Amino acid sequence: MSKLKDFSIATARMMPVIILADVSGSMSAYGKLAALNRAIAEMIATFADEQDARAEIHVAVITFGGDGAKLHQPLQPAYQIQWTNMGAKGSTPMGAAFELATRLLEDKTVIPSRSYHPNLVLISDGQPTDERGRPSDNWKEPLQQLLNSERSSKALRLAMGIGPDADEETLKAFLTGQHPEIPVFRADETRIQKFFRWVTVTLTSRSRSVNPNSIAPIDPDNLDDLLEF
């Protein structure tokens, strides 16, 4: 048995990256959604070029807008993804996105137990609502369930609010229990791609590290013009 182990070939372990993207109607204004589509496509293309024996980056995108949340991009290796642009409509049912993210994270047929700890990125330009567009606290319980899940508690979580209407309370709650040096970022539509380039570098560095499960200190110095709340 030990000799067989000596000759076995190490296979890369999955490192999941799950984007929770606000696609409510307001995201279509001022080119916000167009900028977000370009930023995610660029990020996936960069991940696809990564070749490391330890970690293989897989990407999923959960969108929330209109009457609920959906898996816009199923979890796949980055090099296999043919990106399709997201569309915007309706309200901001963020709670439904947290529920879907929890189910995805805990599904061991999709994310095997040997995978590295996941990365979650939340992007929003507004305040959570119910499916009818009414302001609601219905996001709080699903978020708590997400944060209490074993895998989410070990994840690197990042959040960015776009514009002055982004809800500070929700974005900060998403980072509960996270390393205190990781802030909530706030930007206008012109800086969405800059944020995602920073996310790309941060996650690529993590995948190349000696232990991709460890979360290195975050240095936000290159994002000084992305104001913190």
Q: What is the DSSP secondary-structure string of 173-191? A: HHTTTS-TT-PPEEE-GGG
Give the list of residues 6+ apart from residue 211 with CB closer than 8 angstroms, or none: none
CB-facing half-sphere around the CA of 59: CA atoms within 13 A: 25
For 99, phi then psi, to 5°, come to -60, -45
Per-residue pLDDT of the chain (229 residues; tens, 9 = 90+): 455 555 555 688 999 999 999 999 999 999 999 999 999 999 999 999 987 778 999 999 999 999 899 999 999 999 999 999 999 999 999 999 999 999 999 999 999 999 999 999 999 998 999 877 888 899 999 999 999 998 988 899 999 999 888 998 999 999 998 876 788 888 887 889 889 998 998 899 888 888 888 877 666 666 666 665 5
By three-state DSSP, how is residue 164 classified?
A: coil
CA distance 71 to 54: 27
Burial class (CB in 10 A: 0-12, 13-18, 19+), 34: middle
